[in-house]
């Protein structure tokens, strides 16, 4: 740290992204990326857009906003595109949290919420999950702050139904509720249809998982238009060109190739169910994940040790070294071949440890 670093950020602990190793070829099941390449239409469109990189990107993101709005059954004024969904989540912390509106989120959830709260120097309250890692919706009634819910939750994969989220919305008429649907396309149910009914609901989604564009950095928020207008004020006060031209083109190509995305999601769901069933047969305990990852532990294996052993054998998963999830690993669902390689490695480890 330099002596010039502002006092207000000195205590900040930044978010730790999952490893992106360059030194060897891993079976990479640690950051919930899609195992499938972007749609060929996205790749072609991005390459074409590269020819126009001498010009700034469209700050209104008009064409892609229209396509996303149409896909969601929303108006364009109800949608805001951002540089990954992290950016819209960051805007939400800036826009809707302060001394009198603390952030409220689960103790086990997406780690960036705490970082955003620290970065923006807003107070926050963490609510413990139940022992089975499910969310008790009553804990969020009259939250006295801005609620952030990852749905499905990460790293557990457990989803609330829109009816349960609606209960939380109804009990928080004067609080914003942010529903982070990064993983919704793998079996969760979206709350987007609720945005007209609740002016306190912001739903965020991403192109990083189901749409194979993690490296493109593209996400969006959907909400009542006044909320989108607030978020736009922040966007135009930080980076009006927040989504680059190649990514806008890739996003449009992806939206035009909806069958490709749908097919990949079906495959990921099939592979998740296949792998979960096999893991359970091997004695693993897993949550009921509706996401593109599996959250698993084995009563006979230490979570941290399992993570390290898998890594030595060329398979990278994600381990969170904190209570009460230390015994678990989060395994991104990959191709059937990747899942079979994982299952064989686990079988071997179990035989060795027994």
* Residues engaged in binding ligand PMP (CB under 6 A): 84-86, 110, 150, 154, 180, 182, 206, 208, 214, 219
Interacting residues of 38 by C-beta distance below 8 A, sequence separation 6+: 211, 212, 213, 216, 250, 253, 254
Q: In the complex with ligand PMP, which residue's Cβ is closer, 152 or 253?
A: 152
In the block, tokens 């949550």 appear at 287
CB of 98 to ligand PMP, least distance (A): 22
10 Å Cβ neighbour count for 76?
Answer: 17
Q: In the complex with ligand PMP, which residue's Cβ is closer, 101 or 318?
A: 318
Q: What is the distance between the alpha carbons of residues 108 and 99, in angstroms, rounded to a whole number?
A: 23
* Token pair for 168: 């939380």
Short-list 146, 127, 145, 144, CA closest to 136: 127
Q: In the complex with ligand PMP, which residue's Cβ is closer, 208 or 276?
A: 208
Return the HEC string of 144-211.
CCEEEEECCCCCCCCCCCHHHHHHHHHCCCCCCEEEECCCHHHCCCCCHHHCCCCCCEEEEEECCCCC
Total residues belonging to the chain = 354
CB of 179 to ligand PMP, least distance (A): 11
Q: In the complex with ligand PMP, which residue's Cβ is closer, 116 or 346?
A: 116
CB of 221 to ligand PMP, least distance (A): 11
**In the complex, residue closest to ligand PMP by CB:** 84
Q: What is the distance between the alpha carbons of residues 98 and 144, in angstroms, rounded to a whole number?
A: 12
Q: In the complex with ligand PMP, which residue's Cβ is closer, 175 or 208?
A: 208
CB of 110 to ligand PMP, least distance (A): 4
CB of 73 to ligand PMP, least distance (A): 21
CB of 18 to ligand PMP, least distance (A): 8
CB of 283 to ligand PMP, least distance (A): 27
CB of 340 to ligand PMP, least distance (A): 25
Query: Where are any strands of DSSP class E within 5-164?
Result: 27-28, 79-82, 103-106, 124-127, 146-150
Instruction: Decide: 313 and 343 in contact? Cβ < 8 Å.
Output: no
Q: In the complex with ligand PMP, which residue's Cβ is closer, 221 or 253?
A: 221
Instruction: Decide: 51 and 58 in contact? Cβ < 8 Å.
Output: no
Q: In the complex with ligand PMP, which residue's Cβ is closer, 180 or 185?
A: 180
Q: In the complex with ligand PMP, which residue's Cβ is closer, 164 or 302?
A: 164
Write the CA distances from 195 to 129, 206, 222, 224, integer angstroms.
26, 17, 7, 6
Write the CA distances from 303 to 110, 179, 328, integer angstroms.
19, 29, 5
Q: In the complex with ligand PMP, which residue's Cβ is closer, 166 or 180?
A: 180
Is residue 113 classed exposed, middle or buried when 0-12, 13-18 and 19+ CB atoms within 10 A define those classes? buried
SS3 for 126? strand
CB of 257 to ligand PMP, least distance (A): 19
């Amino acid at each position: 740290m330099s002596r010039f670093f502002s006092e207000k950020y000195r205590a900040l602990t930044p978010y730790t992204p999952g490893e992106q190793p360059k030194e060897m070829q891993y079976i990479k099941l640690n950051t919930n990326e899609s195992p499938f390449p972007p749609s060929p239409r996205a790749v072609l469109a991005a390459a074409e857009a590269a020819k126009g990189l001498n010009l700034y990107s469209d700050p209104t993101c008009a064409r892609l906003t229209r396509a996303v709005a149409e896909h969601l059954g929303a108006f364009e004024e109800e949608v805001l595109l951002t540089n990954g969904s992290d950016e819209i989540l960051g805007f939400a912390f800036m826009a809707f949290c302060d001394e009198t509106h603390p952030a409220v989120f689960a103790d086990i959830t997406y780690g960036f919420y705490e970082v955003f709260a620290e970065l923006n120097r807003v107070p926050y309250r963490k609510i413990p999950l139940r022992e089975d890692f499910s969310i008790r919706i009553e804990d969020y009634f009259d939250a006295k702050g801005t609620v952030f819910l990852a749905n499905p939750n990460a790293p557990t994969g457990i989803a609330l139904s829109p009816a349960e989220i609606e209960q939380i919305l109804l009990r928080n008429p004067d609080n914003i509720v942010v529903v982070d649907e990064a993983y919704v396309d793998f079996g969760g149910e979206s709350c987007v249809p609720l945005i007209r009914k609740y002016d306190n609901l912001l739903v965020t989604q991403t192109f990083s998982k189901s749409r194979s564009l993690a490296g493109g950095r593209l996400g969006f928020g959907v909400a009542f238009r006044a909320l989108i207008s607030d978020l736009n004020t922040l966007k135009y006060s930080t980076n009006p060109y927040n989504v680059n031209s190649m990514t806008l083109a890739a996003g449009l190509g992806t939206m035009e190739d909806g069958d490709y995305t749908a097919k990949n999601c079906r495959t990921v769901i099939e592979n998740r169910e296949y792998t979960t069933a096999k893991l359970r047969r091997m004695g693993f305990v897993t949550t009921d994940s509706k996401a593109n990852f599996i959250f698993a532990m084995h009563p006979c294996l230490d979570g941290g040790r399992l993570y390290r052993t898998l890594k030595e054998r060329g398979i990278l998963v994600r381990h969170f070294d904190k209570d009460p999830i230390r015994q678990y690993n989060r395994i991104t669902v990959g191709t059937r071949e990747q899942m079979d390689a994982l299952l064989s490695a686990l079988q071997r480890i179990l035989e060795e440890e027994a």
